[in-house]
């Protein structure tokens, strides 16, 4: 089976962050995602049966404080992926791994194992690392921004060689040294499982187009020309290196029968029930410990961080949601990772009300589950 990430749907879809308490919404509103294993499996099976291409967990080891202590309760993403892989049949199952916090020899073996459990449906989301509080837990060095990507490049090179090497090899790099490196069994997927990365700085983009197959993009301005240029630049950088790169984004969705109902609920869970302390902590971390976003851009994203961790808003009726998706497709977005407040209820609503309209619009083909 070809990995679903390479399907010919104009707009691929996935669900993200449901391995974390509150998912992507920093809110105390009723219905906010409580996060337990039973619900994780139920949601994964629901999305899988509907033909969602991707299920992506967040790699989080510590929360952000505030009343919600946002994302403090989180299933580790590699063991999560093994369990979800065993419970599903079609969707690609990601793990999100912070390169400086796990040794590449261990990651190569673990990810290959998941690829076998999933029958060739695994993908790896690589994070160079940025959350100082988590690094302190591991007694790990938080390197200068550019050096983080140099480290990640060597880290993923070790993994890719372990995935493919037919004989043991020595590795003598700047960050990693090892003798007689070996891993067996190899992944089922050839030449290797897909790799995703969210690098958006110059160093991050360079890493992504060299090593990743999918770039996870944050559309910063919600301005047509700027957004289109951002995506075009990434695809051009990849093409200049003889590679192709999909662009995926995170969208938070509020879909209701009327536009007024959708915006009323958005304002309720963001403005009335949003956890301002947790968001302030997040923004401080992003502003002071990451070069991905500048302080002025972060300030403009405060509302969107509470609404959906800085994602792109799709708010309105099913018809308006699909109009928004068509716009994203026109910008050359290849895939969307979706979050909701109430994952189970709103994912079912998406399947019932939005997916058929996406098919009518030519954004997706009707899904037929693969034969056993």
Q: What's the pLDDT score for residue 368?
A: 87
Statement: residue 290 has pLDDT above 60 = no
Q: pLDDT above 90 covers what percent of the chain? A: 77
**Per-residue CA distances from 369 to 49, 94, 344, 349, 372 (Å):** 7, 20, 20, 20, 9
Instruction: For the beta carbon of residue 39, count every other beta carbon within 10 angstroms.
Output: 14
Residue 201 C-beta-side C-alpha neighbours within 13 Å: 15
Is-contact 266 237, C-beta < 8 A? no
Collect all residues with Cβ–Cβ distance below 8 Å to 299 and sequence separation of at least 6.
Answer: 283
Q: 4-360 belongs to which homologous superfamily?
A: Luciferase-like domain (3.20.20.30)
Output the pLDDT for position 292.
55
Confidence of residue 220 (pLDDT cuts 50, 70, 90): low
Q: What pLDDT is recorded for position 132?
A: 82
Q: Check whether 182 has a pLDDT greater than 90.
A: yes
Nearest to residue 23, comparing CAs of 63, 50, 53? 63
Mean pLDDT of the chain, nearest integer: 92
pTM: 0.94
The two three-digit tokens of residue 367, written as one number? 């899904």
User: Residue range 63-72: average pLDDT?
Assistant: 91
Which pLDDT band, with edges at 50, 70 and 90, does 49 fall under?
very high
Taking residues 188-212, report their average pLDDT: 92
pLDDT of residue 288: 45
Return the pLDDT at 134.
86
Higher pLDDT, 33 or 295: 33
Its sign, for the CA torsion 19, 21, 27, 32, is positive
Dihedral angle of Cα 123, 18, 307, 131, to the nearest 10 degrees: -60
Residue 332 has pLDDT above 90, yes or no: yes
- Give residue limits of the domains in the chain: 4-360
Q: Is the pLDDT of residue 172 over 80?
A: yes
Confidence of residue 129 (pLDDT cuts 50, 70, 90): confident
Average confidence (pLDDT) over 280-288: 73
pLDDT digits (tens, 9 = 90+) for 229-277: 889 999 999 999 999 999 999 999 999 999 999 999 999 999 999 999 9
Q: Is 369 left (phi over 0), alpha (psi -120 to 50) or beta?
A: beta
Residue 223: per-residue pLDDT: 76
């Amino acid at each position: 089976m070809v990995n679903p990430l390479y399907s010919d749907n104009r707009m691929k879809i996935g669900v993200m962050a449901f391995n974390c308490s509150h998912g992507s919404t920093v809110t105390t509103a009723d219905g906010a995602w409580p996060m337990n294993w039973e619900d994780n499996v139920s949601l994964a099976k629901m999305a899988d049966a509907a033909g969602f291409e991707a299920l992506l967990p967040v790699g989080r080891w510590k929360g952000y404080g505030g009343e919600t202590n946002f994302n403090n309760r989180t299933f580790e993403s590699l063991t999560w992926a093994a369990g979800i892989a065993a419970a599903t049949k079609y969707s690609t199952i990601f793990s999100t791994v912070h390169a400086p916090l796990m040794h590449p020899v261990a990651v190569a073996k673990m990810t290959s194992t998941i690829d076998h459990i999933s029958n060739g449906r695994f993908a790896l989301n690589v994070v160079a690392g940025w959350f100082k509080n988590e690094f302190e837990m591991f007694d790990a060095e938080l390197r200068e921004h550019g050096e983080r990507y140099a480290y990640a490049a060597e880290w993923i090179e070790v993994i890719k060689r372990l995935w493919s090497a037919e004989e043991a090899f020595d590795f003598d790099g700047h960050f990693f040294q090892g003798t007689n490196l070996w891993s067996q069994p190899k992944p089922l997927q050839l030449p290797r499982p897909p790799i995703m990365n969210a690098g958006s700085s110059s160093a991050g983009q360079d890493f992504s187009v060299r090593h990743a197959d999918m770039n996870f993009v944050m559309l910063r301005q919600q301005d047509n020309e700027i957004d289109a240029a951002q995506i075009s630049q990434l695809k051009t950088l990849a093409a200049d290196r003889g590679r192709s790169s999909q662009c995926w984004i995170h969208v938070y969705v509020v879909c209701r029968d009327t536009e007024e109902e959708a915006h009323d609920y958005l304002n309720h869970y963001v403005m009335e029930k949003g956890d301002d302390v947790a968001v302030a902590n997040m923004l401080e971390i992003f502003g002071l410990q990451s070069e991905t976003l500048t302080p002025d851009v972060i300030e403009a994203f405060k509302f969107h961080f509470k609404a959906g961790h800085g994602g792109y808003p799709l708010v309105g009726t099913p018809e308006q949601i699909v109009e928004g998706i068509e716009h994203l497709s026109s910008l050359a977005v290849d895939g969307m990772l979706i979050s909701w407040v109430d994952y189970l209820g709103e994912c079912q609503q998406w399947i019932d009300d939005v997916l058929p309209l996406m098919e009518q619009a030519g954004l997706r083909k009707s899904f037929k589950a693969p034969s056993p």
